[in-house]
Structure 1
Amino acid sequence: MNLGDNQKKRLLQIARRAILSSLRRERIDHASCDTDELCGLVAPAFVTLTKNTQLRGCIGQLHPEQPLGELIARMACEAAFHDPRFPPLALEEAADIEVEISILTPLEPVGNSGEIHPGEDGLVVEGHGHKGLLLPQVAAKYRWDSSTFLAQTCHKAGLPKDAWKDPHVKIWKFQALVFSDNDFAEV
């Protein structure tokens, strides 16, 4: 999916406003999240929050049914207040949070590790009642090769790190359009 800069800025604005509205205990009008420039767009997406370059929350949806603007508002609040790895975001932290949005392409099945391009592809691993996902930027950040990326995605799923070799474990890859507050920071 291609988005123009105005659409990207609008989605970042939607995410930040949703978080601030929740912190202030204001009602979020999800219908207003989908302006003309976003109307009709539906895509899987994740919202990642960082504070001082450290992960502070990341939640998304692979199979959304709502429009993209509404999804981003909901996932921003989920990342801020319901990521089980972190305490809920506090109002005094809000100014220090960077918002990053990842809009995902459809999932493609992976037959072998040679089909994976770390840094370009994200991964989903599913098997034995477990499922895990890592975004493309995670492999790029840690400079993982394909095998390490697969092992880490299995680990995130709660599976043994070599579970990707099990024929009963399914693997998919995807790409993502990734943009953040930093992409539009004033110089």
Structure 2
Amino acid sequence: MSSIEATLEMTYICFETLLEIFDYKYEPTKLTEKESKSKLPLFVSFHKIKENKNTLRGCIGTFEKQKLEEGLKKYTKKAAFHDSRFKPLKKSELKNLECSVSLLTNFENAKNYLDWELGKHGIRIEFLNYHATYLPHVAPNRSWDKITTIQHLARKAGFKKDLNDNILNQIKLEKFQASKISSLFLDFLKAKKMDNFEF
């Protein structure tokens, strides 16, 4: 794993990026010097937490190394406002929002489409001009086995047909690991002593 681990402060920077867009003043969170100088691939995702339901609200990232603070801000905006699967985030939704930051590390080319571990690895597949990725937590959260995960990932990539052995064996799979942290917007407000926030 990378020596840089995902921290709560990184999720705070994501929430502060949203506050800036909604014209709300805040005291900026600072990364450590080591974190500030680091460049890593990363993903930012938002979930809506309501009545014990956890619903994806946006998730976008990159496999290109990013300066950490710039990358967090850039992909916060993309995940919150430019994920084509969802409408742009509204200020009123912040009260139920959870932010997750995943820093990606340890990239390896797999021997075949089954050469990865559930829960440990995220995967990126490429075949027949299709490509898509899942972060490490996706398959375990949905109780998928490896084959089911590959099938869903192919659908996510836009492939509509069945995956036969011929196609499965054409899949190029890259596996990777991630350091992930999540926090709730309401906990962020408490940590930053912003209890007077108006939704």
Does TM, normalized by the shorter one, top 0.5? yes
2:51 pairs with 1:49: no
Tell whether the 8 Å contact from 1:47 to 1:100 is kept in structure 2 after alignment.
yes
TM-score when normalising by structure 2: 0.79
- 2:22, 2:91 within 8 Å by CA — same for their partners in 1? yes
After superposition, residues 1-187 of structure 1 pair within 5 angstroms as: 1-3=2-4, 8-24=7-23, 36-52=33-49, 53-64=54-65, 66-159=66-159, 160=161, 162=163, 166=167, 167-181=169-183
More relative contact order in 1 or in 2 (CA 8 Å, sep 6+)? 2
Q: Percent identity?
A: 29
Higher helix share: 1
**Larger mean Cα displacement after TM superposition, 112-121 or 123-132:** 112-121
CA contact (8 A) 2:44 2:100 kept: yes
Q: Note the C-alpha offset of 1:75.
A: 0.6
Call closer, same or farther: CA 1:120–1:70 in 2, change over 3 Å: same
Query: How many Å apart are 1:169 and its aligned residue?
Result: 3.0
List alignment gaps of at least 5 residues for structure 1.
none
Name the Cα RMSD after superposition.
2.5
Superposed displacement of residue 165, structure 1: 5.1
Task: Please list the CA deviations of residues 95-132 of structure 1 after superposition, one character each: whole Å capped at 9, or x if unmatched.
Answer: 22100111111421112244221111111111222210
- Report the CA distance shift for 1:49/1:72 in structure 2 as closer, same or farther (over 3 A): same
CA distance in 2, matches of 1:177, 1:47: 12
- Which of 135-144 and 110-119 deviates more? 110-119
Structure 1 CA distance for aligned equivalents of residues 114 and 82 of structure 2: 35
CA distance in 2, matches of 1:40, 1:121: 26
Task: Point out where structure 2 has 5 or more consecutive residues left out of the alignment.
Answer: 191-199
**Contact (CA 8 Å) 2:113, 2:173: kept in 1 or not?**
no
Question: In the aligned structure 1, how far is the partner of 2:174 from the partner of 2:74?
Answer: 25
Q: Sort the Cα spacing of 1:76 and 1:128 in 2 relative to 1 into closer, same or farther, 3 A.
A: same
2: CA distance between counterparts of 1:117 and 1:18?
34
Q: Distance in 2 between matches of 1:46 and 1:21?
A: 20
AA of the residue aligned to 1:71: G
Q: Which amino acid aligns with 1:60?
A: G
TM-score when scaled to structure 1? 0.83
